[in-house]
Chain A
């Protein structure tokens, strides 16, 4: 059956392209929860379509990633999907693929040359400017509903070299400036915990040791939000008195939300991004036109609608 599917898949591709060696995928990092869900999304979609995909791990190394792309081109793949390690280093990748005439799809992270992509290249992701702003807006509403007018918060940033960390932090400011927050927000301190639960635990405990009163924690992702929660629980802080928000809606985060600890997270549909990237790559390989920017929407998750998300990540 699988052989039959593969054969039909290849025949479909053969009709438009000379080569039929499947699709090459270069992921920025294998050992990242979110990217793993995305990677599985690509794999699942490929299996369903009977396509062969070769997935490589760039191990967060820009140079390694470019080598992988060149290797894919050299081995004659039909299309390449790239989850860029560094979003400012994508011009060389676009150039290499364009020179060889191989379609290229960027997934999840917005390349710097997104507005000047050649016709056979595309970008599939969620719009990062929606991410934490959805969660933060909800957080503001909850504070207002609790009768607060002024709140003090801590902000936990992801890796500072990462565009998503910068954007998600910027979103907080943007929401405030756009008047999207009904309460006055004072940021007590803003630090990086490098997306990591362990570092977030230490950072939060360090913050708690200053004894400053606070109303909430804004974390760039769920792992850090969970680290902050674990530190607060260890220090005996009433989790009903603080509002914590994260981004990603990971299984661990949802379990924490069910336990009444995490208040808000935002679901980024990793599997849909992976599947969307594969669709775009297949279409481009077949010579069809695709939208050059495909945005998969973010979705707000609170205890009210958590049931819809338990099986999604």
Chain B
């Protein structure tokens, strides 16, 4: 059971009372949305959303569409994995989008090639001695960027006790400023082949899925995971029962920062460019994925599986609307309705069970 440790912190918890894990509801919603697109597609366009209708391709499903559904959310999904842990501890991280911005800029600066089509790199940031470096350099520098940002977030929250909303809001503004300052707003392009390979093809999905499995295991099987739920359920009780709440919070925000940095590396590699405006609003998309996936903003409740399903719902909606040839306006409006709707439904379910 994903939430079997929910009772830490003095709350009685009886797994038998829980008839349905909330992930099943999210899964049901995901299936429902897919069915709606399938039906609308057949009615309006006479085409199938999920199944292959092309004669020249011999597969049951439209594999290209299945791929893009997950590919287009996998990068924000990587961020959402970190944000999920933060939210489970009762915090919030608004800085991830901006951390993506600054990390992409810094990492790409160390990943440039010296020569483009026979000419010197027109977007060069450093001199030639800092170009054509092995791929480990930009990756390490990038991850260090995220680690630093996350460490600052965590330290501010844990030691000064300022609300996470404020601490990470500060980081959000400051990191975006740093991203613009880094190259005075100029985009940074032309990475080495090694760096470009990180985000090509379905690599973002592979990285996302591996990390999701890893953090699912960490959250369900380790002391770290149990402490996240304990702190989110009842911080005072967690402290009393001997959990190092301060240290744990620093760790959680640091992990979130590193994951945001990793997302930035994949994103800039996938796009073969880094721009100061990269990752704008990603933090909110990541939070929305978690919330749709049943993670409670009160803390203490939710799972990595839920977040992954939330991410898939996002992807299905984007692809579904393009499939139906509907404009982006509707896409955003529906996204908003789904975010709020998911939480309202979850609240109803929660209060219903409380009474029963």
**A198 and B271 within 8 A (CB):** yes
In the complex, A110 Cα to B189 Cα: how many Å? 30
Tell me whether A206 is interfacial, beta carbon within 8 Å: yes
In the complex, what distance in Å separates the CA atom of A201 from the CA atom of B267? 11
Chain A 44-78 interface residues, beta-carbon cutoff 8 Å to B: 57
Q: How far is the CB of A35 from chain B (nearest CB, A)?
A: 8
Flag whether B116 is at the interface (Cβ < 8 A).
Answer: yes
Are B270 and A201 in contact, with the CB atoms below 8 A? yes
Query: CB distance A31 to B277 under 8 Å?
Result: yes
- Distance to closest chain B CB from A193 (angstroms): 9
Which residues of B have CB within 8 Å of A311? Answer: 122
Provided the pairs A33-B186, A197-B273 are in contact, do residues A210 and B47 lie with their beta carbons within 8 angstroms? Answer: yes
Q: Which residue of the partner chain A has the closest CB to B267?
A: A198
Q: Flag if B327 contacts A191 (CB, 8 Å).
A: yes
Cross-interface CB contact of B276 among A31, A202, A207, A235, cutoff 8 Å: A31
Check B123–A203 contact: CB distance below 8 A: no
B64 touches A235 (CB 8 A): yes
Residues from chain A with Cβ under 8 Å of B54 in the complex: 211
B68 pairs with A33, CB closer than 8 A: no
Interface residues of B in 267-312 (CB under 8 A from A): 267, 270-273, 275-278
Please indicate the chain B residues that have their CB under 8 angstroms from the CB of A33 in the complex: 186-187, 275
**A251 in the interface (beta carbon within 8 A):** yes
Q: Which residues of chain A come closer than 8 Å to B1, judged between CB atoms?
A: none
In the complex, the answer to whether B322 meets A207 with C-beta atoms within 8 Å is yes
Pairs A–B under 8 Å by Cβ, sample size 26: A30-B276, A31-B185, A31-B275, A32-B185, A36-B184, A36-B186, A40-B184, A189-B322, A191-B322, A192-B328, A197-B273, A198-B271, A203-B322, A205-B68, A206-B68, A209-B319, A210-B47, A210-B323, A230-B272, A252-B187, A255-B116, A255-B117, A255-B189, A255-B190, A258-B117, A310-B119
CB-CB under 8 A from B53, the residues of chain A are: 211
| Contact residues in B for A198 (Cβ distance below 8 Å) | 267, 270-271, 278
- Among A196-224, those with CB < 8 Å from B are 197-198, 201-203, 205-211
> Contact check: which of B117, B189, B273, B322 meets A259 at CB < 8 Å?
B117
Per the bound structure, the CA–CA distance linking A202 and B328 in Å amounts to: 13
User: Are B327 and A209 in contact, CB atoms less than 8 angstroms apart?
Assistant: no
B335 at the interface (CB under 8 A from A): no
A-contacting residues of B (Cβ < 8 Å)? 47, 53-54, 56-57, 62, 64-65, 67-68, 71-72, 116-117, 119, 122-123, 179-180, 184-187, 189-190, 200-201, 267, 270-273, 275-278, 318-319, 322-323, 325, 327-329
Whether A39 is near chain B, meaning CB under 8 Å from some CB there, is: yes
Measured between alpha carbons, how far is A201 from B322 in the docked complex, in Å?
13
Roughly how many angstroms separate A235 CA and B67 CA in the complex, as a whole number? 11
Closest Cβ neighbor of A197 among chain B residues: B271
Chain A interface extent, by class:
35 or more
- State A194–B56 Cα separation when bound (angstroms): 32
Return B147 CB to nearest CB of chain A, in Å. Answer: 24
Q: Does A234 sit within 8 A of B, measured CB to CB?
A: yes
Whether B200 lies near A234 (C-beta < 8 A) is yes
Nearest CB in chain A to that of B117: its residue:
A258
One of B65, B184, B185, B190 near A206 (C-beta < 8 A): B65
- What separation, in Å, do the CA atoms of A311 and B263 have in the docked complex? 32
Chain A residues with Cβ under 8 A from B277's Cβ?
29, 31-32
Q: Mark A293-313, 1 if CB is under 8 A from B, else 0.
A: 000000000000000001100
Chain A interface residues toward B at CB < 8 A:
29-33, 35-36, 39-40, 57, 160, 189, 191-192, 194, 197-198, 201-203, 205-211, 226-227, 230, 234-235, 250-252, 255, 258-259, 310-311
A233 nearest CB neighbor, chain B only:
B200
Query: Given the complex, which residues of A lie within 8 Å of B271, measured CB to CB?
Result: 197-198, 201, 227, 230
Given the known A-B contacts A32-B277, A251-B122, A252-B189, are A206 and B117 also in contact in the complex, defined by CB atoms under 8 Å? Answer: no
What B residues does A201 contact at CB under 8 A? Answer: 270-271
Q: How many A-B residue pairs have CB under 8 A?
A: 105
Measured in the bound complex, the distance between the Cα atoms of B119 and A33 in whole Å is 21
The interface residues of chain B lying within 8 Å CB-to-CB of A194 are 328
Q: Which residues of B contact A209 (CB under 8 A)?
A: 62, 64-65, 67-68, 319, 323
User: 5 nearest interchain CB pairs?
Assistant: A31-B276, A209-B65, A31-B277, A209-B64, A202-B72
Give Cα distance in the complex from A210 to B328, angstroms: 18
Query: What is the CB-to-nearest-CB distance from B124 to chain A, in angstroms, rounded to a whole number?
Result: 11
What residues of chain A lie closer than 8 Å to B190, measured between beta carbons? Answer: 252, 255
B71 close to A30 (CB less than 8 A): no
Task: Look across to chain B and name the residue whose beta carbon is closest to the beta carbon of A195.
Answer: B277
> Chain B residues near A230 (CB, 8 Å)?
270-272
* Nearest-CB residue, chain A, relative to B64: A209
A211–B327 Cα distance when bound, in Å, is 20
Q: Which residues of B contact A36 (CB under 8 A)?
A: 184-187
Contact among A206, A227, A255 with B323 in the assembled complex (CB-CB below 8 Å): A206
Q: How far is the CA of A258 from the CA of B272 in the complex (A)?
A: 16
Q: Is the CB of A202 within 8 A of B318?
A: yes
With both chains docked as a complex, state the minimum distance between the C-beta of B285 and any C-beta of chain A, in angstroms. 12
Q: How far in angstroms is the closest Cβ of chain B from A262?
A: 12
